[in-house]
Structure 1
Amino acid sequence: MVTKSSSSKFPLILSSSKNWIDATSSSANVNTGYNNVVNIKNVGITLLSRRHFRPKWSAPTLRELKRRKDIETEKAQLKGEPTVFHRSTFLEWNYDAELFAFGNRLGEKFEDALLRQALTHRSYVERENKKLESVGVESSLDLKLNDDLAVDGGLMITRFIKGYLRAVFTSAPEEMILAVHDYLVSTSVLADVGKHIGLGEIMLCADFPCQPETYVKSLQAIVAALEKSSGEERARTFVQDMILPQLYGKDVNELWNVANPVGTLASILKREGKAEPEFRLTKHTGSNTILAVYHVGVYSDKNFIAEGAGESIEIAQEMAAREALKRFFNTEDSAKALPFGRQLKAIQAKVVKLENQPNIPLSEWASGKVSIVSQ
């Protein structure tokens, strides 16, 4: 092994035999065109110490480029011009290739015409027509808009989500199903999904960066285009893979706020023929401090139902009622994780069946009715 020394006089190289070799030795010099070069033979391991340095001009140049970029960005912001440019402004932009890559990234097959329609917004067509009129061209763009597809896709997303929630939360009232559904179809959630699957680079719209509402409309249209291209089952799977996982890490009980948990609990117990809820203070600490904690248990017919804690007796009583409702609705913190993937495929038939069959409303909820409906 031939190595160039890092020192002009006494370079040292550590070999596997743990011996130091002086490169100035006449027996070690070889005619390679370099000064103080060592030729080591039959060595298994050689440890070299080497330091890399950037040229002196590198750091000042990078700082100057950053300063110029900041100036241009500030000027653009003052003029109201965009500081982020659409990918279509790049020379290597190929819209056909982008659409092909989009479908393959998702693992779905789209009809080309439907996919293009799903990504074409009315604002884009209006803007392009104005450009043509400004240069004296009377003809307009013959492009299909995604308005109808977005409406159909929105209805499909709602139906698929409700079917999944009803199949998973069979004991929950319909009000909870609707609250969780409203969270999943909210603008912030759907727009986030649209951004992460790459819709922002291929949507044809007038606004850029694209508005959240534009992402939502495109995503809804994509679902409808997929249903028309590959069938309803593929569209349902797409929604289950892309939108429903947004529930991961969320507490469904926090997405639905019961207005009067104590009164709701009393009504449920009355419909089931049980005594009214009785709240008892089980333990407390720090009553005269700002860190007071009270534990209240709720009982019915002398049977313990649940327990809650709070900084006051009233709050602890409300929390105990909420914990009791969680037990009735099977949405406790210790409940099973939401089914996805293979687990979801096992209940897919149940999901499809319940898409148009609502759960029992809260005003009629009783455990006996739930068991009959879920059969």
Structure 2
Amino acid sequence: MSLLRCVAGVIALARPINNASTIQTQRHFKRWVSPTLRELAHRVKKQGPQKPEPRSGFVEWNYRSELFAFGKRLNEEFQLPLLQTAFTQRTYAHQEQERQRMLGIAEADLQTADNSQLAAKGAHIAKAYVEAYLQHALPKVPSAGHQAIASYLLGTETLAHVSTHLGTKELIFSTEYPPSSETLAQTLQAIIGALADSSGVERAFLFVRDFICTQLNQKDLLEIWTPEQPLQLLSEVCTERQLGEPEPRLLGDCGKNTVLAAFQVGIYANRQLLGKGFGENVQTATETAAIDALQTVFEMHENRRPFDFRMQLEAKNVKLG
């Protein structure tokens, strides 16, 4: 029993019973409470911070009920054996097999499934749907932008963030606690695979849309994808779309010969202003203006129409390969 639980027990024991015979002692703690609490606090400080303990170690823990509640919270129908497999890491499965072998259990019972296959299937489904969704939501963005945004959505950090907020942390069977970001991300992919096997690929697509694609909500796309050579890319896009040759023009400058110099450059095509930007020199201002022009051409500005997260793509529009 940890020291924190000992402290809770001491306080509970020191609390007087609320009846007529103990009215005199209700306003006072026992004499031994104060020195006991000081000693326990000293031991806690000496031992250092307590390591996090998984909820599965609590007496009232019921794993089957937790799995059932997990699916109901997400409003999804899972096959419980598949869902349990989705939460089982390979390292834990190997450890469990070794433990059973040491106990002398027959070899036929040592087959403990892990989530590697479900994770591979879920990753394939998520990648296919995210790419299809970006093509419909951002039709004017080139493939390089789609790849950068898809990499952000399917990256370990984003998937681990989604997995954590779905409540997978306490349900994962792993040899480490708390689970790492890689474990959380792989578990989320396995959950997608388990959902596809339990309720069909269409439900898995909606799951990806509702929990992964929505991470783009109120997100500045320029922070995710910034072209390395914006002026060259703008020239290629303008030539491809027959918008005319982009022409940068100096619109104004301030403090030209000082350390606080600022230049404003605008980029025109066919006498139409595509974008403008500021910088400490003309080159920087030109690149900033080119990025602003690309945002206009690709419809990536912050004031663009919000993403439609109610969009339902048909299975034929998603290339599962």
- One-letter code aligned to 1:158: K
The alpha carbon displacement at 1:158 in A equals 0.6
Structure 2 residue 161 is matched with structure 1 residue 192: yes
Q: Verify the 8 A CA contact 1:163 1:352 in the aligned structure 2.
A: no
**Distance in 1 separating the partners of 2:80 and 2:172:** 14
Aligned to 1:111: 79
The alpha carbon displacement at 1:137 in A equals 4.8
SS at match of 1:199: coil
Equivalent position to 1:94, from 62, 86, 102: 62
Aligned to 1:249: 218
Q: Which runs of 5+ in 1 are unaligned?
A: 1-52, 77-82, 358-375
SS at match of 1:209: coil
Structure 2 residue 231 is matched with structure 1 residue 231: no
The structure with the largest alpha-carbon Rg is 1
Structure 2 residue 317 is matched with structure 1 residue 348: no
Aligned to 1:259: 228
The alpha carbon displacement at 1:129 in A equals 2.5
Q: Verify the 8 A CA contact 2:71 2:78 in the aligned structure 1.
A: yes
Q: Which runs of 5+ in 2 are unaligned?
A: 1-26
**Distance in 1 separating the partners of 2:117 and 2:258:** 61
Aligned to 2:98: 130
Aligned to 1:177: 146
The alpha carbon displacement at 1:293 in A equals 2.1
- One-letter code aligned to 1:306: G
SS at match of 2:60: coil
Scaled by the length of structure 2, the TM-score of the pair is 0.82
Aligned residues: 292
Aligned to 1:6: none
Scaled by the length of structure 1, the TM-score of the pair is 0.71
Equivalent position to 2:188, from 219, 223, 233: 219
The alpha carbon displacement at 1:304 in A equals 2.2
**Distance in 2 separating the partners of 1:291 and 1:56:** 70
| Between structures 1 and 2, the one with greater helix share | 2
Q: Verify the 8 A CA contact 1:160 1:355 in the aligned structure 2.
A: yes
Q: Percent identity?
A: 36
Aligned to 1:313: 282
Aligned to 2:48: 73
Equivalent position to 2:247, from 275, 278, 288: 278
RMSD (CA atoms): 2.5
Task: Write the deviation string for residues 207-266 of structure 1: whole angstroms up to 9, x where unpaired.
Answer: 222121111111111111111111222211211121122222321122112121111112
- One-letter code aligned to 1:320: A
**Distance in 2 separating the partners of 1:274 and 1:237:** 38
- One-letter code aligned to 2:80: D
The alpha carbon displacement at 1:69 in A equals 2.5
The alpha carbon displacement at 1:138 in A equals 5.6
SS at match of 2:52: coil
Q: Verify the 8 A CA contact 1:163 1:353 in the aligned structure 2.
A: no
